[in-house]
Structure 1
Amino acid sequence: MSLLRAKIQDVFNEPGCEKNGGKDAKARKEGCSKPLIPGAAAGGCAFDGAKIVLQPITDVAHLVHGPLACEGNSWDNRGAASSGPTLWRTSFTTDLTELDVVMGQGERKLFKAIREIKEAYGPPAIFVYPTCVTALIGDDIDAVCKRAAEKFGLAVVPVNAPGFVGSKNLGNKLAGEALLEHVIGTVEPDDAGPYDINILGEFNLSGEFWLVKPLLDRLGIRVRACIPGDARYVDVAGAHRARAAMMVCSTALINLARKMDERWDIPFFEGSFYGITDTSEALRQISELLVKQGADPEILGRTEVLIAEEEAIAWKNLAAYRPRLEGKRVLLNTGGVKSWSVVHALMEIGIEIVGTSVKKSTVEDKERIKQILKDDNHIFEQMAARELYAMLSEHKADILLSGGRTQFVALKAKTPWLDINQERQHPFAGYDGMVELVRQIDLAIHNPIWCQVREPAPWDCQPAVREELPRTKSETVTLHAVQEFSGTTAADFGEC
């Protein structure tokens, strides 16, 4: 536990974070987020954050050491896609019970689980995730993993991020620390070249990195490791031989990028593949960084040619949507890199941004938003569901772009909604991804269902008064019988 505390303190003192660097010593020790409320950490704890970062390494077995409920459906918590191995989609857990805790069988059960995975699946590595229970009872995960690695001849990596130590974002960073300590640098590639790069913080959601990788391939740039999207263990282990790196999500892996720069001289920059302009700028910066690292300067010219070709195709495809979407108002309830990259992307085709959240955004993200929007009134730290509903029901936005948690607020307000967070079903990265994003917005806004949904409900309409027809003798007898049985009068029935 003392080693874990030291790692957490090191993450809290992250010098690569400008927000952290602006704090005094006392504030820095308090950490990067609010203390967790007991019982309210589900889905947002350090364990979940670590699993998010490492789960998309596709050929690795991810073993959760703890009660069955801790594993849950975390294997599919980000919608990442794989081009090959599917082992990461199999859930492994030691399923620790109360009897195991009382009898002290946790470490023995973990060792047995590692052996069974090795014999049944033969993966190149097993990542072991301790949980709150196993951390609190003092199971020595590091010792078990070390012994298992020696016994079975494969990498067994302890990921020390039990849920109670902090927030999801802290778990992201602790996962990066596990990679630095146990994985990166353990395999020496024999094909390293001057055009090798790493992509950090890219999760390949809905396979969207596959829209970007062909662009890099055309430039002769090889992605040595994409961490973690569609990654292989051996690629991550040899990532220290890349010449440059692009960081997509700084809030998650800034510590990994900085320490790889310090240890192996891999300079990095933060960029985005969302939107035409940002995608082009990212390609330029990758090429420029490689040239600074010794690559042939001719790649700069080839990059400009590629950008010109792809931008022309993208703008041509977007031209059909501009008349239909220009002036439409969009409300963004997301965070992180999307808080500014998606804003810039949508403004490129004339869409108006009426608000964007910056809840999970860094200081750099917020500065970018201010430069793009030129108005702080459109930026909000957090918007409660009640405020969000009021804004949408007053028709201040034509569509809401957010995650699944707020979709029902939009539907209640009878406003179109599009998922742009990790659960999304469509890839939005790169030039083709930008066209797809605009296409999905157009489909959502102009869906004919909204005209019907916004009409008054049939039961809210005043029915037309019909002239009473004379009743027959049998109808009159029946009506009196019903009145007598129920104690009602003819006036209670109204006009029939």
Structure 2
Amino acid sequence: MKNSQEEINNLLNNTTCEHKQPTSHNNKKPTCKKPPQPGAAQGNCPFEGAMVALGPITDVAHLVHGPVSCTRNPWGSRGSLSSGSKLYQIGFSTDLSEQDIIFGGEKKLYQSILEIAKRYHPAAIFVYATCVTALIGDDIDSICKAATDEIDIPVIHINAPGFIGSKNLGNRIGGDALLKYVVGTASPEFTTPFDINIIGDYNVAGEIWNVLPLFKSLGIRVLSKITGDARYEEICHAHRAKLNVVICSNVSLKIAQKMQELYGIPYIEESFYGVENMSRCLRNIAAALGKLLGDSSAARYLKERTERLITKKTAALDMALAPYRSRLEGKRIVLYSGGIKSWSIILAAKDLGMEVVATSDRKSTEDEKIKIKQLLGQDGIVLSKGSPKALLQVLKDTKADMLVAGASNQYTALKARIPFLDINHERHHAYAGYDGMIEMARELYEALYSPVWQQVRKPAPWEQKIGDLAEESTLN
């Protein structure tokens, strides 16, 4: 799959994109693109973004065509879990050497694909281009087509080398590849009026497993998960769903929009974080499916079942959260994350009686930015960029009790001598759904009331001794 500049611009040109601007005075519409910054490859590379988006497809072999060093970061930094195949956890690489770079790596790529097919029998093989193989001009498309004919397994080229843009672009290239080469290539044995796709959840720490039982109890079938704990075959079936539920708008909305255009599948944007968000999500899904069913007994019964389930779950949750709410109420949080978590965690904190005094609007759509400002109120602080120095100042100014952010910011919290909770994709705790709220409350409580903070905030022994001597000298 070759990405022309026109195709790249089309992926980025989204009505919800934060960089989309109105037509200028000379009638030229500026291209919606966010160029990479020197030195910002880690966490901002299209190759990594593509692997993050597609890596959770568990029965696929993900082969990186390039130096072995390119494999490590996206493969090892996201905690997407699987209920079945563990093939996605194997890091495959063609491991190009200097000689391969000089003479080309096509032969090595072809041999690697054949070897993977022979030893692991994957449902498909995704081949990821890197900066090196894109620069030396390897014809990956032709190799993938030839290998597909040879092994009778889909071999798909994911053309997202690191120099073409940002990580977000890589996410979208990965989703576009699924639409072009996977979705619609097979059909399920049967369909139901209650089939949905979940788009944009990567099952970090097993979060999707907190939500799937809720849908099952309502009689709603998740036909395809794109892509958390997904299987290749289920994504092939995604075009037969009746509704798409988008979890991360900034990354996955383009997939839902394209599926609506191609297959007529409507979509809604939802969140699984927080009691209010989860209840609203269930109601909105029931309403959207009910609308498709019309004024029927099945639609009315689905609505009734949904309300009964929400009542039952929230009542049990109130009892489970009561001990935590009494200790967390009134605590102030600075939240520094991106995308959906920038606003949905605000509501989750409010469910626990806590207050988010500052958050970021990174990776957020314009609609999400408006939502953030509404939830924070007039006194809330919105951070566009959060350097350690800026975060330390905000923590001091707001008198925050805790920093909730990605793992890279934990040292900032240590400098400020306040508790820290990891909310990003490196975490090992599932916060989605009703059960996830209990886990989040437990983690917040344990972080805030750890005895270590009393110790680190005390003066050092030598400082205490100096203070005692000064006080004694004053008295004398």
Structure 2 length as normaliser, TM-score?
Answer: 0.93
2:376 aligned residue (373, 376, 380): 373
> Does 195-204 or 386-395 show the bigger shift?
386-395
CA-atom RMSD in angstroms:
1.8
**Number of residue pairs aligned between Structure 1 and Structure 2:** 462
2:390 aligned residue (371, 387, 394): 387
In structure 2, C-alpha distance between the alignment counterparts of 1:371 and 1:213, rounded to whole Å: 30
Counterpart amino acid of residue 108 in structure 1 = K
Counterpart amino acid of residue 274 in structure 1 = Y
Secondary structure (helix, strand or coil) at the match of 1:332 reads strand
Counterpart amino acid of residue 204 in structure 2 = L
Q: Which runs of 5+ in 1 are unaligned?
A: 466-496
In structure 2, C-alpha distance between the alignment counterparts of 1:21 and 1:198, rounded to whole Å: 31
Q: Which runs of 5+ in 2 are unaligned?
A: 470-476
The corresponding residue for 2:474 is: none
Kindly provide the CA deviation profile for residues 245-282 of structure 1, in whole angstroms up to 9, marking residues without a partner as x.
Answer: 11000111121110011111111111101000100000
On the 8 A contact 2:419/2:448 being kept in 1, the answer is: yes
2:457 aligned residue (441, 454, 474): 454
The corresponding residue for 1:187 is: 186
In structure 2, C-alpha distance between the alignment counterparts of 1:64 and 1:92, rounded to whole Å: 6
In structure 2, C-alpha distance between the alignment counterparts of 1:27 and 1:336, rounded to whole Å: 25
The corresponding residue for 2:339 is: 336
The corresponding residue for 1:442 is: 445
Kindly provide the CA deviation profile for residues 199-258 of structure 1, in whole angstroms up to 9, marking residues without a partner as x.
Answer: 000011100110111000000111111111000000011111110011000111121110
In structure 2, C-alpha distance between the alignment counterparts of 1:42 and 1:322, rounded to whole Å: 38
On the 8 A contact 2:2/2:159 being kept in 1, the answer is: no
Provide closer, same or farther for how the CA distance between residues 456 and 15 of structure 1 changes in structure 2, counting only shifts above 3 A: closer
In structure 1, C-alpha distance between the alignment counterparts of 2:311 and 2:77, rounded to whole Å: 37
Counterpart amino acid of residue 391 in structure 1 = V
On the 8 A contact 1:12/1:28 being kept in 2, the answer is: no
Quote how far apart the aligned CAs of 1:2 are. 6.4
In structure 1, C-alpha distance between the alignment counterparts of 2:237 and 2:181, rounded to whole Å: 12
Secondary structure (helix, strand or coil) at the match of 2:404 reads strand
The corresponding residue for 2:84 is: 84
The corresponding residue for 1:103 is: 103
On the 8 A contact 1:393/1:414 being kept in 2, the answer is: no
> Does 392-401 or 157-166 show the bigger shift?
392-401
The corresponding residue for 2:355 is: 352
Secondary structure (helix, strand or coil) at the match of 1:14 reads coil
In structure 2, C-alpha distance between the alignment counterparts of 1:347 and 1:273, rounded to whole Å: 15
Secondary structure (helix, strand or coil) at the match of 1:321 reads helix
The corresponding residue for 1:147 is: 146
Provide closer, same or farther for how the CA distance between residues 23 and 434 of structure 1 changes in structure 2, counting only shifts above 3 A: farther
> Does 390-399 or 408-417 show the bigger shift?
390-399
In structure 1, C-alpha distance between the alignment counterparts of 2:433 and 2:185, rounded to whole Å: 32
Quote how far apart the aligned CAs of 1:21 are. 6.2
Asked which structure has the greater CA Rg, the reply is 1
Quote how far apart the aligned CAs of 1:395 are. 7.0
The corresponding residue for 2:292 is: 293
The corresponding residue for 1:269 is: 268
> Does 84-93 or 368-377 show the bigger shift?
368-377
In structure 2, C-alpha distance between the alignment counterparts of 1:283 and 1:14, rounded to whole Å: 27
Secondary structure (helix, strand or coil) at the match of 2:197 reads strand
Counterpart amino acid of residue 57 in structure 2 = I
Quote how far apart the aligned CAs of 1:376 are. 6.1
The corresponding residue for 2:472 is: none
The corresponding residue for 2:415 is: 412
1:28 aligned residue (13, 25, 30): 30
Counterpart amino acid of residue 54 in structure 1 = L
Matches within 5 A, 1:155-234: 155-234=154-233
The corresponding residue for 1:314 is: 317
Structure 1 length as normaliser, TM-score?
Answer: 0.90
Provide closer, same or farther for how the CA distance between residues 406 and 27 of structure 1 changes in structure 2, counting only shifts above 3 A: farther
> Does 375-384 or 281-290 show the bigger shift?
375-384
Provide closer, same or farther for how the CA distance between residues 119 and 362 of structure 1 changes in structure 2, counting only shifts above 3 A: same
In structure 1, C-alpha distance between the alignment counterparts of 2:173 and 2:333, rounded to whole Å: 35
On the 8 A contact 2:197/2:223 being kept in 1, the answer is: yes
Quote how far apart the aligned CAs of 1:326 are. 1.2
Secondary structure (helix, strand or coil) at the match of 1:401 reads strand
